[in-house]
Structures are given as structure tokens and as C-alpha cells.
Chains A and B, each alone.
Chain A
Amino acid sequence: GAVVSQHPSWVICKSGTSVKIECRSLDFQATTMFWYRQFPKQSLMLMATSNEGSKATYEQGVEKDKFLINHASLTLSTLTVTSAHPEDSSFYICSARDMGLAGTDTQYFGPGTRLTVL
């Protein structure tokens, strides 16, 4: 299956700093990528949809100025958590959409990034 990588796999930062997470589709081009966050023992919550060459679409309740998304190429999307605070500590997962055969597009997920804000 298709491979999606995320970097870094974990990061610890001080409150008030910004953290950038990269998501790459390694063997396919993804015009659309998605960013999720997941709290312990909970399901994935979609934060935003990232479209190559255009602005991201954010879900209700997600601050676009706090979670900056850039999708500058067909294989790379970045999520920057600006002025991070302890409540931003979470598991962030990206996924990339592989259109594949007509009507059977599938999202492939990255391994996730564990963010801990002290």
C-alpha cells in the first residue's frame, strides 16, 4: 500500500514556542491531505483538509491562526502549531488521499507525531 511519512515522530517543546510537523506521501501524489488529532483512547478528530496550492479548510472549532497548514507540493503538507500550550499536547496524525482507480480513493495515514508541550 501507499506510504505516508511524518516527521518528527515525537517532539517536546516549551510553552509559547512553535512546532512544525511535516507529512509526506512517498510513492504517490496527493492533492489532498488531512490533519487529525487524537487524545488518549479517543477517535481521530479531523482538524483540517489541506489542498495543494490553495488554502486549507478548517473544521469548526479549530483555530486557523494557531494551526497553520501549508500544502506547497503534491507530496508535502506541513502543520505548524504556533505558540503552543500544554493543552495542545496530543497525537497529531496526517493522512494523504490516493485517488487510485476511479471511485476507490483511500486515505493512507502517517505514523503520527506525539507533541508534548511543557
Chain B
Amino acid sequence: SQKIEQNSEALNIQEGKTATLTCNYTNYSPAYLQWYRQDPGRGPVFLLLIRENEKEKRKERLKVTFDTTLKQSLFHITASQPADSATYLCALRTSYSSASKIIFGSGTRLSIRP
């Protein structure tokens, strides 16, 4: 069956360290993968998109990698801050077709302690 899994429900990190979140998928060949941040009681906010032919994307303190052989994406936050505490969702788009959907993982709740 098709699955997208974020294998940590929760992650606790000391401020200043790098937080690494994992997203694995099975039985999909995604066109691209996206990462979102969601704060409690709010809608998800788009962070980064990485395509199937890209290995790595960066945006300020954020870095995303995409390994289509391992069927895995890693999301890194360097120099983490308490304000980075939130739930992070990975999502994949199944194809470039306008009819394709975004499938979400269950999310990882990240807590950065001072």
C-alpha cells in the first residue's frame, strides 16, 4: 500500500543544535516533495519544495534533501531556536498533473528547549 511516514511523532532539541526530521514514503514516485510548518490552531505554512531531480534545497536556516533511491527526505533546521517549535509536515505530490493531489504525512512535533 502507499504510505508516507514521518517516523518521529515528537522531537526535543536543545537550542542551537541542528534538528533533523525524516520523511519516508513507499509505493509512490513523487514529482516533488514539500515541507510545511503548522502551529497549533493554524493552517500549514509552506516552507520548501524539492523536485525529484534535485538532491538538496536551502532556505536560510532550512535545508531539505531528497533521495529517491532511499525514498526519503530529510528536513534540517540549523541553529535551532525556541521559535522553531511547531509541527512540521512533509507532503508529496504524486505527479505534475493538475489532477494530482498532495498527500501529507502525520507530522513531527518539534520542541526546541532554551
Spell out A's residues near B (CB within 8 Å).
Answer: 1, 4, 6, 32, 34, 42-44, 46, 49, 91, 93, 95, 99, 103-112, 114
> Is A43 touching B42 in the complex (CB atoms < 8 A)?
no
Distance in Å: Cβ of A5 to nearest Cβ of chain B? 10
Across the interface, B41 reaches (CB within 8 A) one of A6, A32, A107, A112, namely: A112
Across the interface, B43 reaches (CB within 8 A) one of A42, A49, A104, A109, namely: A109
Q: A43-B107, A106-B46 are in contact. Are A91 and B34 (CB under 8 A)?
A: no
> Is A103 touching B96 in the complex (CB atoms < 8 A)?
yes
> Is A111 touching B42 in the complex (CB atoms < 8 A)?
yes
Quick one: closest A residue to B93, CB to CB? A105
> Is A106 touching B104 in the complex (CB atoms < 8 A)?
no
A114 to B93, CA, bound (A): 27
Chain A to chain B contacts (Cβ below 8 Å), 16 pairs: A4-B43, A6-B43, A34-B102, A43-B106, A43-B107, A93-B43, A95-B43, A99-B98, A104-B32, A106-B46, A106-B49, A107-B46, A107-B102, A109-B43, A109-B44, A110-B43
Quick one: closest B residue to A102, CB to CB? B96
Spell out B's residues near A (CB within 8 Å).
Answer: 31-32, 34, 36, 41-46, 49, 51, 89, 96, 98, 101-102, 104-107
Secondary structure at the A interface, as helix, strand, loop or mixed, is strand
> Is B45 touching A44 in the complex (CB atoms < 8 A)?
no
A87 to B44, CA, bound (A): 23
Extra A-B contacts (5), CB below 8 Å, given A95-B43, A112-B43: A1-B46, A32-B98, A46-B101, A103-B96, A107-B46
Q: A46-B101, A49-B101 are in contact. Are A106 and B34 (CB under 8 A)?
A: yes
> Is A112 touching B42 in the complex (CB atoms < 8 A)?
yes
Q: Which residues of B contact A111 (CB under 8 A)?
A: 42-43
Q: Which residues of B contact A109 (CB under 8 A)?
A: 36, 43-46
Distance in Å: Cβ of B21 to nearest Cβ of chain A? 14
Q: Which residues of B contact A6 (CB under 8 A)?
A: 43
> Is A43 touching B89 in the complex (CB atoms < 8 A)?
yes
Quick one: closest A residue to B43, CB to CB? A109
